Structure 1
C-alpha cells in the first residue's frame, strides 16, 4: 500500500491507478475544471509511475507554452506591424473570420446556451469529446480544422480503445458543438467531422434478451432474497423500465388508479432526469413488478425514496445499481445478459402476444415514429394493463 501512496500524481480506485494533477491557478481559465484526472488503465505501480511521469512532463511543457504565449514578448515594442523581426519575411499568416472561435471557446458557447437545466453528464460529454479533439489535433479555430484533422481524431479514438458505438456518440457531440457555435457566430462551415469512416460495430456486443426460463429463474430468486436490491430487479423485470428510471423513483411515484390498481408514474426529478420527453409515462404494475411495489410500500421508513441506498446524494447513483445488480445476475443468466436485457425482453414478450407497436412504445417509453403519435394523451391505463397482463 505504501508503494501506491508514494507514486506522484496518482491515486487508486478499485486497484486501478488514476492520474491526477491540479491545474495552476494562473492557467485555470483555459480549463473547465480545476484538476485533470483520468484512468491510467493499469494496476501495476511500475507502469502507472511511468505513465504518470510522462503525463506530468507533457503538462509541464504545455503549461510552459501557455505561460509564454500570455507573457509580454521581449522587445515587442520594437516590432514593425505586419513584419517579423530579423528578416522581413512575408510568409502568409493563417487568416480566420473575425467572428471565429477556438474549439475550447465553442464548447463554452454550447454549454452556456444549451447546457441550461441539463444534467452534469451533458457538460462532461461536451468537454470530454471536444477535449479528445484538442488532444489529437490542437485547439484551433473552427474553420482551421480539416478532414485530415478529423481522420487523425478518429485514429486517436481508435487508439484509445473506444468501441464503435462510443465513437459515434463522441463524433455526434463534436459535430453538435461545432455546428452550434458556427451558427451562433455566423460562420460558414463545412464540418470536417461529418462523414468520417470508422467501423461502427467494432467492439460492440449485442445485448441478449432473457429467455422465459431465465426470466422466471431470476424472478424466483428475487422472491427468495426479498430485499431492496431484488425488489429493484423485479420491478424492472416486469415493466421494462430503464434501470435509472426505477432506481430514482420515490414511494409517491407508486400510485393507485380509480379501480385501486397500482401503477408507476415515471416522471423527471431533480435527482434523476429522463432520457427523452417520451419517457414520461404511467406503467401498470403486474406480476413481479406489482409484488416489488407492494414490498416497497410496506416498509416503514422516513425516506421518500423507493431505493434510498441509490439516492443518498443529489443524483441517483444508477451506475452503482447497475454494477451491483449485474454482478448478482451473472450467477443465474447466460453470458451477455444484463439488467438492460429486461428491457429487450419486455419488447420481445409484447411482440410475442402481438401487442400493437405503439402500445409497446408507450409501455417502454420508446420514441414512436410519425407526426400523428405526438397528438393526444396516448392509451389509457386499462389498455396498457391488459397487454402487460398478457405477458406476466
Structure 2
C-alpha cells in the first residue's frame, strides 16, 4: 500500500525536499511564499527527516500567526532603533541578568557548564525565527542578534566605537532630561551636524576639518552669536561622551572653535543695552494702559528687582514671602521653571512698586499654585517675552533694547549707588568665581541684597 505524505517533493537528481505554501494572510509576515526544507538525496532519507521538518514548519506557521509578532512590534514602535554601541551594552547587561560572564574566555572542556548554557540559550533564541532552505534562521531581530554574538564570542566580541548619535542619546538622557526646550534645541543642533557631515561618525574619527564643516554649515543664514551657542551644545555633548564612554586619547575637535574671531565678534556689552529712565517710564505707561494686570505686575517686579524674565514669570505663590521681615521672592528650580545655574537660586527683596505688584499678584492668584498662571508653564517665559516685547518695541525702536534691558539697567543702578561687586552678584544671581560665594546664610544674604536694592532705587 502506497502511503501519501503531504508537502514532500522529489526534485530529480537534486533529491527530496519539504515544500509547503504559506497562506496568503501570513506571507507579508513571513517574507516569502513557501517553506522549503531539504530532506536528503534518497527517499529513505526523506521519510526519516520528514517528521522534524514538518514539526518545524508547523512551528513557523504558528509563530507567524500570532497577532503581534516580533517583527511587527519592532517596526511599529516609535522608539529609535538601538545603535550598534547600545546593542553591545544591552547584550552585556542581558548576559549579566542571565548569570553569565560578559568576559567569558571560552569553554575549559567539553562539559563546560557555561558553554552549554550559552549554546542552549542561543538555540532557543534562533528557534523563534523562520529558517531558509539551508535551515538557517532568517529575520533575527537586532537585539537577539547582538545577544547571540555576545553568547558565542564572549570576551572576543569587540566593543563598537561610539558615534555622534550615541553621544547625543547619552547627553539627552543624562544632561537634558525632561526639559522640552533643551530637547528641541539639541535636536535642532544635531540636525545641522548631520546635514554637515552627511552621516553618523565615530567619535574617535572626528577631525578638526569635520568640526569646521559643521561650523560653516551652521553659519549659512545664521548669526555668529547663534552659531557659537550651537557649538557650545556640540562641545558639551562630545565632552560628556568622551568622559562617560572612557574614550581615552580621543580629542574633541570642536574645542576652541568659534563662529567668528573675537576681534570681529560683537562685544558682549553691545549685544544689549540698558534702558534709559525715560524709556522705562514710557514703556511702563503703555503697559499700564494696554496690558492685562498679570503682565503689568511682571514688568513692575522685573523693574524693581533686576530678575530674569523666566525667574519672575515662573514664580509660584509659595515663592512670595510677603510677611517676612524683609518681603522677598525666592528664585529656585521647580518642575514648571528651570533657572540658569546654581548661583541663580536666591532670595530677592521686594521694595516699593515691586512689593505692591507682588502683593496684588498673590491676591489675584487665589488658590492657584503659580503666581502668574498664564505664564507659569513650560515655554510661558517665551510667551511673556513676546507680550512684553510688543510694548517695548512700540516705545523703543533700538533692537539692542529689550525686556532684558531692565536687568542691565539694574546693574547700572547698583554700580552708580556704590554697591560692591560681590553684593551686586547676590542681588542679580551672578557667579563671582569666588569660593566664598557658597558661604554664608540665606538671611544674611537677603539683608545684604535688601540694602543694595534700597541704595540702587533710592
Matched, 1:328 2:388: no
The Cα of 1:186 is off from its aligned counterpart by 2.5
- Residue pair 2:343, 2:429 contacting (<8 A) in 1 also: yes
State the alpha-carbon separation in 1 of the partners of residues 275 and 314 from structure 2. Answer: 24
- Residue pair 2:365, 2:372 contacting (<8 A) in 1 also: no
Question: Which position in structure 1 is the counterpart of 2:417?
Answer: 353
The Cα of 1:178 is off from its aligned counterpart by 1.7
Question: Which position in structure 1 is the counterpart of 2:190?
Answer: 130
SS of equivalent residue, structure 1 residue 282: strand
Give 2:356's match in structure 1, choosing from 277, 291, 301: 291
- Residue pair 1:281, 1:365 contacting (<8 A) in 2 also: yes
The Cα of 1:256 is off from its aligned counterpart by 3.1
| Cα gap change, 1:115 to 1:257, in 2 (>3 Å) | same
Question: Which position in structure 2 is the counterpart of 1:343?
Answer: 407
State the alpha-carbon separation in 2 of the partners of residues 334 and 376 from structure 1. Answer: 43
Pairwise CA RMSD: 2.7
Question: Which position in structure 1 is the counterpart of 2:7?
Answer: none
Matched, 1:111 2:177: no
The Cα of 1:183 is off from its aligned counterpart by 2.5
Matched, 1:150 2:211: yes
State the alpha-carbon separation in 2 of the partners of residues 30 and 132 from structure 1. Answer: 21
Question: Which position in structure 1 is the counterpart of 2:80?
Answer: 29
SS of equivalent residue, structure 2 residue 254: coil
Question: Which position in structure 1 is the counterpart of 2:345?
Answer: 280
| Cα gap change, 1:316 to 1:173, in 2 (>3 Å) | closer
| Cα gap change, 1:208 to 1:334, in 2 (>3 Å) | farther
| Cα gap change, 1:368 to 1:272, in 2 (>3 Å) | same
* Greater share of residues in helix: 2
Matched, 1:182 2:242: yes
Give 2:317's match in structure 1, choosing from 251, 262, 268: 251
SS of equivalent residue, structure 1 residue 304: coil
Greater length-normalized contact order (CA 8 Å, ≥ 6 residues apart): 1
- Residue pair 1:251, 1:297 contacting (<8 A) in 2 also: yes
Question: Which position in structure 1 is the counterpart of 2:233?
Answer: 173
Give 1:318's match in structure 2, choosing from 375, 381, 392: 381
State the alpha-carbon separation in 1 of the partners of residues 286 and 314 from structure 2. Answer: 23
The Cα of 1:133 is off from its aligned counterpart by 1.3
SS of equivalent residue, structure 2 residue 348: strand
Which runs of 5 or more structure 2 residues have no equivalent in the other structure? 1-74, 84-135, 137-157
| Cα gap change, 1:101 to 1:275, in 2 (>3 Å) | same
**1:249-278: CA deviation from partner (whole Å, max 9, x where unpaired):** 12221113543x421111212111111111
State the alpha-carbon separation in 2 of the partners of residues 124 and 300 from structure 1. Answer: 31
Which runs of 5 or more structure 1 residues have no equivalent in the other structure? 1-23, 33-76, 78-96
The Cα of 1:120 is off from its aligned counterpart by 2.3
State the alpha-carbon separation in 1 of the partners of residues 168 and 329 from structure 2. Answer: 38
Paired residue total: 301
- Residue pair 1:163, 1:203 contacting (<8 A) in 2 also: no
State the alpha-carbon separation in 1 of the partners of residues 440 and 414 from structure 2. Answer: 23
The Cα of 1:222 is off from its aligned counterpart by 4.5
TM-score, normalised with respect to structure 2: 0.60
The Cα of 1:376 is off from its aligned counterpart by 1.9
